[in-house]
Structure 1
Amino acid sequence: MPWMVETYDKFDCAELRNRIRPAHLDYLEAHKGILLACGAKIDDEGKTASGGLYLLDLETREDAQSFIEQDPFYQEGLFARVFVTRWRKAYLNGFNTLNED
Structure 2
Amino acid sequence: MPYMIETWDKPDAGTLRAEHRAAHLDYLAQNAPRLLACGAKLTDDGNDGGGSFYIVDVDSRIQAENFLAGDPFSQAGLFQRNSITRWRKAYLDRTSYLPKV
TM range (shorter): over 0.9
1:43-89 deviation line (CA, Å, top 9, x unaligned): 11212231011000000000000000000000000000011110011
Residue in structure 2 matched with residue 72 of structure 1 by the alignment: 72
Task: State the AA in 2 paired with 1:44.
Answer: D
Which whole-Å CA distance do the structure 2 matches of 1:50 and 1:79 have between them? 9
Which whole-Å CA distance do the structure 1 matches of 2:97 and 2:5 have between them? 20
Residue in structure 2 matched with residue 43 of structure 1 by the alignment: 43
Residue in structure 2 matched with residue 3 of structure 1 by the alignment: 3
Which whole-Å CA distance do the structure 2 matches of 1:32 and 1:97 have between them? 21
Which whole-Å CA distance do the structure 1 matches of 2:32 and 2:99 have between them? 25
Count of residues in correspondence between the two structures: 100
Residue in structure 1 matched with residue 17 of structure 2 by the alignment: 17
Residue in structure 2 matched with residue 29 of structure 1 by the alignment: 29
TM-score normalised per structure 2: 0.95
- Helix, strand or coil at the partner of 2:24: helix
Residue in structure 1 matched with residue 89 of structure 2 by the alignment: 89
Over 6 Å off, 4+ runs = none
RMSD over aligned CA atoms reads 1.1
Which whole-Å CA distance do the structure 2 matches of 1:32 and 1:60 have between them? 17
TM-score normalised per structure 1: 0.95
Unpaired segments ≥5 residues, structure 1: none
